[in-house]
Each structure stands twice: as C-alpha cells, then as structure tokens.
C-alpha cells in the first residue's frame, strides 16, 4: 500500500505542474477562441528573463542575490510580459480582427518562433538556474503507519499549492469581475462583443498579459526544477493532452485533466511498465487524449458546440 500511495502522490504533484501549463492555453482560447501555439515559447521567454534579471538586478543595485533580488526580478519580468502582450496586440492581433480563426492560429505560431529566437538573443542561450528558495530535499510522512514512511517532494508540494491558488484566483477573475465577463463575451463572438462596446484591443492585451503571468509562474517552477534551457519550451507539449482531456474552455478541466494524466503516467509506468516494457510515460498521455477525442472531443468539462439549422 505504501508504494502505491507514494506513486499516487507523486503523480498528483506532477499533474498540478501539467495543469499550470494547460491553464495558459485555456486562457487564450477562452478570450479569442484560438489555440495558442506560443504558450511554450512564452514559458521559455519569461523563465529566461526571470533567471537573468535575478542576477542582473542585484548586480546593478550592488546587493547580494536573495529574496529582494528575486522579488524585483519577478516584478520587472511581469512588466516585460505586459509589454510583450501590448506589442503582440499592436503588431499582429489588431490587424486580424474578425478574420478567420486559421489566421489567428498561424499568428500564434509566428509569435512562438519569434519569442523562441528573441529570448536567447536578449538573455543568452546558456543553461541558467532559478533559485527562489523552494526546498529541494524530499521529506518522509506517515512513518508510524507505513514502514519507512512515504517520501514526497516538498518542491512539488509547494508547486501544487501555487497552482491551486492560481486557479482559484483566475476562476474568480473570470466569474466575478467585469473584465472577466468581457473576456468570455469576446470568446463567444468578436463582432457581438464589439457591437456592445467591448474594446477588443484592450481585452487581448489583458488576456495575453495574464497568460504571460501564468507562463512566468510555470517558468519559475520548471526552471527551479530543471534549469532554464531551450527545451523548457517543449514542456508545453505535455499540456496538449491535458487540455484535450479537460476541455479547452474550462479552467477546472485543466486541473482535473492534469491530475488524471499525472497520476495515470506514474501508475502505468510503475505497474504496467514491467509487463509491457518501460517508457510508458512518454506516450501514455497522448494515447489517453486520442481515446478521449474519439468518444468525447470537447473533453470532460468543455462546452459542447451545437449547431441549429
């Protein structure tokens, strides 16, 4: 029982990290109806900025790197992501209002390649580390219940807590605020939203800024675990099965989808791996997403589209 619970907890922790990435996709889709291929590039760009600013700012101010330096780096990086969102709206999205969704889709692909090249150009292409003080050593719990106790990662536990807080804040933002309701109106129909006075350009700057902030949180957590390097943008690929499973329009769906895939990966690797061979973690999520596409294409919590004739 002990090893099973340990695997289950490990899967839940990893699942929350997948869910964090998926939230970025859901945010853009809810406001524009377009799948954002640039989310992975935004994670890499924000993580690179955070890693470099956390070193540069203490050097500029003549202080030791630490908590204050990290807080200043987070503020400066958030401001940078808002500027990036404003530039994206000015140079790309503004000119694509009321165009076919495929035009917006291709625009996000172009933005992804631009950010992938711009980040290393500005901040360098070496492997950087982010140290925000998250604990690295595992801890043992329930030592009196199970022999040797259950080993859990405190770093993953912190990440799960941050993900939960982020989801609650975003859910309240979308449901309870005027701006959140405007975002949902824009997602339903651009032209109808404009006709009632919702400024599309301001809405897109807001939603891309929020997606940039989420990308920064993801970049800090993954950068703290794995280091900041080019492959960080590829972690976004792990979120694709999550949004397919949970539904592209649902924040709770992103969380539930992330947890299902995280737990499924770990349990299948540990218990099915010895029977059918290892490496199940690399393809399990995509196989599960494919099965869902066949039986429920809108995902567990996605909105079902009904066309009336």
Has residue 31 been placed in a domain?
A: yes
How many structural domains compose the chain? 1
Report the percent of the chain where pLDDT is more than 70: 95
Q: Are 245 and 258 in contact (CB under 8 A)?
A: no
> Please, what is the angle between helix 280-295 and helix 251-267, to 10°?
130
Q: Is residue 306 part of a domain?
A: no
Rounded Cα distance, 244 and 253, in Å? 9
pLDDT tier, 306 (very low <50, low <70, confident <90, very high otherwise):
low
Q: What is the pLDDT of residues 186-245, one digit of tens each?
A: 766 777 777 777 777 788 788 888 888 888 888 888 888 878 887 777 777 778 888 888
| In-domain check, residue 303 | no
Structure tokens at 279: 């490496």
Per the domain annotation, does 58 fall within a domain?
yes
How far apart, in whole angstroms, are the C-alpha atoms of residue 276 and residue 296?
27
pTM (2 d.p.): 0.84
Q: Mean pLDDT across the stretch 247-258?
A: 83
Instruction: Determine phi and psi for 236, rounding to 5 degrees.
Output: -65, -25
Residue 97 lies in a domain: yes
In a domain, 57, yes or no: yes
User: Which pLDDT belongs to residue 307?
Assistant: 53
Strands 138-141 and 150-153: antiparallel
- Taking only the tens place, the pLDDT of each residue in 255-268 is 888 889 989 888 88
Beta strands in the chain (DSSP E): 138-141, 150-153
Which residue range(s) make up the domain with 273?
1-295
Instruction: Find the helix packing angle between 200-226 and 39-61, rounded to 10°.
Output: 70
- Which has more pLDDT, 195 or 306? 195
Mean pLDDT score, 32-54: 86
pLDDT at 305: 58
Domain of residue 172, CATH code: 1.10.3470
pLDDT the model gives residue 304 = 63
**169 within some domain:** yes
| Residue 70: other Cβ atoms inside 10 A | 20
C-alpha span between 149 and 73 (Å, rounded): 38
Judged against a pLDDT cut of 80, whether residue 118 lies above it is answered with: yes
- pLDDT band, residue 297 (cuts 50/70/90): confident
Q: Is 224 a domain residue?
A: yes
**Within a 13 Å sphere around the CA of 276, how many CA atoms are in the beta-carbon half?**
9
Over the stretch 75-97, which tens digit does the pLDDT of each residue have? 999 999 999 988 888 888 778 76
């Amino acid at each position: 029982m002990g090893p099973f619970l340990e695997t289950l907890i490990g899967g839940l922790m990893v699942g929350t990290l997948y869910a964090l990435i998926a939230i970025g996709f859901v945010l853009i889709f809810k406001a524009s109806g377009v799948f954002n291929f640039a989310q992975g590039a935004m994670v890499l760009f924000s993580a690179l900025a955070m890693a470099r600013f956390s070193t540069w700012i203490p050097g500029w101010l003549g202080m030791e790197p630490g908590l204050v330096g990290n807080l200043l780096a987070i503020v400066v990086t958030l401001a940078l992501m808002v500027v990036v969102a404003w530039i994206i709206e000015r140079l790309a999205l503004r000119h694509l209002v009321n165009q076919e969704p495929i035009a917006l889709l291709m625009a996000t692909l172009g933005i992804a390649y631009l950010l992938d090249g711009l980040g290393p150009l500005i901040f360098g292409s070496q492997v950087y580390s982010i140290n925000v003080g998250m604990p690295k050593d595992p801890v043992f719990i329930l030592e009196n219940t199970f022999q040797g106790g259950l080993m859990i990662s405190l770093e993953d536990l912190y990440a799960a807590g941050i993900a939960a807080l982020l989801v609650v804040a975003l859910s309240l933002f979308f449901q309870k605020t005027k701006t959140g309701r405007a975002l949902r109106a824009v997602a339903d129909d651009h032209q109808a939203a404009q006709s009632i006075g919702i400024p599309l350009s301001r809405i897109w700057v807001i939603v891309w800024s929020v997606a940039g902030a989420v990308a920064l949180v993801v970049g800090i957590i993954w950068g703290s675990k794995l280091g900041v390097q080019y492959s960080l943008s590829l972690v976004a690929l792990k979120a694709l099965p999550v949004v397919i499973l949970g539904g592209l329009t649902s924040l709770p769906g992103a969380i539930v989808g992330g947890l299902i895939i995280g737990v499924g990966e770990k349990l299948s690797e540990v218990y099915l791996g010895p029977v059918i061979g290892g490496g199940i973690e690399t393809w399990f999520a995509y196989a599960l997403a494919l099965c869902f596409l066949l039986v429920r294409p809108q995902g567990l919590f996605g909105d079902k589209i009904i066309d009336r004739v």
